[in-house]
A and B are shown apart, each in its own frame.
Chain A
């Protein structure tokens, strides 16, 4: 059991670095299905994991590539701090089953958002030092 949890952490971490996300998107379903947690418990635990700076290792790699907009990042952190509190207030009284379903819908929406994005990779702000000739 302990080993599963440790490995799960590692797998989620790779996604954190690879995709620039907190990992909760993957972690919450993993906790629900692998460890049979209740939806609320999985989400709370996921938030707990995000408390220490788990993304710092990944951030360092992006920083070295000059792929970080510090000003925007700080603004985002502030907005998310405030919004997060209200989101938590909404989630806690919801029925676990509905929360789980909503989470699923959110994932589907997020997937479409990401898929249909155009390709502004070579805009002025973009460092093209790694010369990824995509497209």
Chain B
């Protein structure tokens, strides 16, 4: 992937895919976006993560949120309680990220997702 409009179009297309995953799974979408940027657009891990954070600035998830809100799938009380912690924790994590090696970061991340994923799929379908 070179520079210019092709690269822009590619990034936009990849982001659309991430957006679908974001709406489908109620996540920020960074989970996919970070590896996409790194794999297909030659971003370093830290740069991919920093850029992903830009994409998470509102109102990125607003339309997905709207689809869930219309169906009544929001717990407002829990949501409001979580927000301050996520914000403060976010600063802490950003500070920590500078002090860790990219590869280690990625492996911890991947290992965690693998375990969570197996747990989720098993508890949904096994029995």
Interface residues of A (CB under 8 A from B): 2, 5-29, 31-32, 35, 37-63, 65, 67-92, 97-98, 100-115, 117-123, 125-127, 130, 132, 134-135
Contact B56 A89 (CB under 8 A): no
A interface SS class: helix
Across the interface, do A42 and B30 meet the contact criterion of CB distance under 8 Å? Answer: no
Closest to A122 in B: B44
Selected from A71, A72, A74, A100, the residue in CB contact (under 8 A) with B124 is A100
Taking CB atoms, residues of chain B closer than 8 Å to A45 are 26, 73-75, 78-79, 82
Q: Which residues of chain A are within 8 angstroms of B43 by Cβ–Cβ distance?
A: 69, 72, 120, 123, 125
User: Is the Cβ of B27 less than 8 Å from the Cβ of A24?
Assistant: yes
CA A56 to CA B73, docked complex, whole Å: 26
Knowing that A20-B52, A61-B97 are A-B contacts, what are 15 other residue pairs whose CB atoms are under 8 Å apart, sorted by A's residue number?
A6-B81, A12-B82, A16-B93, A50-B61, A50-B65, A65-B98, A76-B55, A80-B16, A80-B55, A86-B23, A87-B64, A100-B124, A103-B117, A108-B118, A134-B101
Pick the contact of B61: A80, A103, A118 (CB < 8 A): A80
Decide if A81 touches B62 in the complex (CB within 8 Å). Answer: yes
Residues of B within 8 A of A86 (CB): 19-20, 23
A132, chain B: closest CB distance, angstroms: 6
In the complex, the 9 A-B pairs of residues with the closest C-beta atoms, listed nearest first: A22-B28, A13-B89, A83-B19, A9-B85, A87-B23, A17-B93, A43-B26, A20-B49, A79-B15
